[in-house]
Amino acid sequence: MDASKIVEVIGQFVSLKKRGANHIGCCPFHNEKTPSFYVSEGKGIFKCFGCGEAGDVVKFLMKHEHYTYPEALRWLAEKYHIDIHEEEMTDEQRERQSERDGLFHVSEFAQKYFADLLYNDEMGRAVGLSYFHSRGLSDEIIKRFGLGYCLEEWSNFTDHALKNGYSETVLEKTGLTIIKEDTGKKYDRFRGRVMFPIYSISGRVLGFSGRILSSEKQAAKYVNSPDSDIYNKSRILYGLYQARQAIAKADKCYLVEGNVDVISMHQSGVENTVASCGTSLTTEQIRLIKRYTPNVTVLYDGDKAGIKAALRAIDLLFAEGMHVRVTLFPDGEDPDSYAQKYGSNALQEFLNTHEDNFVLYKTRVLLESVKDDPIRRAGLLTETAHTIALVTDLMERQEYIRQCSYLLKVSEDVLTHEVSKAINQNREKTYTAKSESPDTNSQPTPDQVSPESVPTPSQDAPSTDNFALQPPVESERHLIQLLINHGDTMIVQTFKDEDGNEKKTEYSVAQIIISDLRNDKLAFTDPMCQRIYEQCSLMLDMGGHIDIQRFLSSDDTQLRSFVAGLMVDTYSVSDSWMKMKQIHVPKIEENLKQDLTDTLYTFKRQRLMQMVHSLNDQLRTADETQQLQLLTEIKYYSDLARTIGQALGQVISPRFN
């Protein structure tokens, strides 16, 4: 973190201009023409005043490049030439790590070899390349996806790899080579197939999918790499490496069935397209998409198998909180054939005009399949209710109920009842699952938090304070601002001891604020301020240091945005003024002390007045004994507020007396 320069890093992705103490540019996270995206070199943070996105340099990489926390750190380490020492690795782990490296190396080697054969081998050109060309793929797109060809010989690749020093073990583990147990004979798994390499998000080759070209009956049309230390088919999406930026930009992901569909969609200019490779969609794959967008449109051809597969996917997608739409291609066309027949403009036009709502679509398909059978129709009602129950957005859910009740010819009340029954059933399931998983309450520290980990369910709002009747006040924010920006600054305080001798002590701004509020048992009305205050007090109790990094690398966007907003000074300060400011350095400390006292007093006064106000309300309904008690309290707090007001040079009108 110390080595990385935030302006330099963000400048690689966003064009930044210097303004005052900050750099500004157009926000990469939302569309804008006038810059409201601020980067502060000094504070190491960015903050967009348009959409609120904010954080430190690691958070920027995670958001912009969709890296996980460790991936972002590795990126920075590479950029700033820092060796990462994986500490406390056991021998076994080290061995495993080098084995993984071996698998990566041989996969990359294989990809290069197959791609080379496609263009530079006679058979490669005659069989492999002409196949791709016949599918309408251009050389440019073939190279972009790293496509290749594995020769129709028993062990051409295996021999070549062994000659280049790769071990049998590694070749077997990646599944590139199959070794017969009884005879020890080695042969190529993908012989005679065109090769589709499968990349990780960061562009490393993890495995392959190979399509057979001969019409051999027993052979499977597609063969995929078996799962290994680097390849796990349920956690990989074909085309994601090439599609990720386009998905984020379009805020939408098209999900298709086959590798060739992905490639021809890309070639037609629809680059936000991926496919699940050789599996039905998994939760892990959905979470991969969710890193980039919550919006998924499923494209599939209208045959029975396609519809079935798509319907299976819906519950999974909804359960992950995705917004799902569906596009059905006409008469057995798929994205590939459609693009080839009508061209890319027509394809894009078709996609833009044929999106359907998945819940309605599912209901229609099921409705058609049950026809007028009353018993199966009743089952359909339950099934539809279960799907709607997975929709988390209330408005959306209501809309589905309205539309589906129309389709199913039942009243909205009946369907609403079924849906709430389904919701309760889901909830019971969740509760059982929760009570089984231990230790759900422990809060992970920032470096334990992986973006892939399941987000903890949002905490219930803190119990409302009796006095929290007023909207958040400016003084609360200002107090938090002091805590964040100057929490560790030491301030000298003078006081008189019992004998009347003047004594000096040093306290940090955080110590002063926190101990003062604790003494008076005061809390913030604004939940965000209260949350930051509580965390700061915890930090102070633990070690005495206010660690702002904790807030800036939080997974909570609102928290990051709030804290960074209080840190970035958006006023454009002219250089001459800065120079003037430097002349009066001692003055700044003096100002800070004054500012701190004023803010604390203002905050307290406002809180006291809120208390008085609330007690006054209670007075109206109180009986006689209570009234007496309340009046005493009101007088006490009013006096206190007035004293503070006088200290601030403001006299409060005795409204409550």
Half-sphere exposure of 617 (CA within 13 A, CB side): 8
The Cα 259–Cα 279 span in angstroms is 12
Q: DSSP characters for 544-597?
A: S---THHHHT-S-HHHHHHHHHHH---S---HHHHHHHHHTHHHHHHHHHHHHH
The Cα 356–Cα 299 span in angstroms is 10
By CB under 5 A, is residue 226 in contact with Zn ion? no
Which of residues 27 and 513 has its CB atom nearest to Zn ion in the complex?
27
By CB under 5 A, is residue 54 in contact with Zn ion? no
The Cα 556–Cα 54 span in angstroms is 10
From the CA atom positions of the chain, what is the Rg in Å? Answer: 32
Nearest distance in Å: CB 28, Zn ion: 8
**22 token code pair:** 């900050």
Per CB under 5 A, contacts with Zn ion among 276-315 are none
Amino acid (one-letter) located at 80:
Y
Which of residues 158 and 561 has its CB atom nearest to Zn ion in the complex?
561
Nearest distance in Å: CB 139, Zn ion: 39
Which of residues 25 and 148 has its CB atom nearest to Zn ion in the complex?
25
Nearest distance in Å: CB 552, Zn ion: 16
**100 token code pair:** 């993984």
CB 408 within 8 A of CB 415: yes
Residue 403 neighbours by CB distance under 10 Å: 17
**365 token code pair:** 């398909």
By CB under 5 A, is residue 51 in contact with Zn ion? yes
**CA-based angle 290:293:295, to the nearest 5?**
100
Task: Give the total of residues touching Zn ion (CB under 5 A).
Answer: 6
Which of residues 25 and 175 has its CB atom nearest to Zn ion in the complex?
25
Backbone angles phi, psi at 206, to 5 degrees: -105, -30
Nearest distance in Å: CB 52, Zn ion: 7
Stretch that binds Zn ion, among 16-24, 49-57, 314-322, 649-657 (CB under 5 A): 49-57
Which of residues 64 and 325 has its CB atom nearest to Zn ion in the complex?
64
Which of residues 43 and 63 has its CB atom nearest to Zn ion in the complex?
63
Task: Provide the mask over 27-46, with x wherever binding to Zn ion is found by CB under 5 A and - wherever it is not.
Answer: x-xx----------------
Nearest distance in Å: CB 147, Zn ion: 37
H and E: helices and strands count for the chain: 26, 19
By CB under 5 A, is residue 251 in contact with Zn ion? no
Which of residues 34 and 459 has its CB atom nearest to Zn ion in the complex?
34
Which of residues 27 and 652 has its CB atom nearest to Zn ion in the complex?
27
**318 token code pair:** 């909804």
Nearest distance in Å: CB 27, Zn ion: 3
Residue from 6, 9, 39, 48 touching Zn ion (CB under 5 A): that is 48
Nearest distance in Å: CB 36, Zn ion: 7
CB 101 within 8 A of CB 227: no
End-to-end CA distance of the chain: 56
By CB under 5 A, is residue 546 in contact with Zn ion? no
Nearest distance in Å: CB 31, Zn ion: 9
Please provide the size of the chain in residues: 657
Site residues, Zn ion (CB under 5 A): 27, 29-30, 48, 50-51
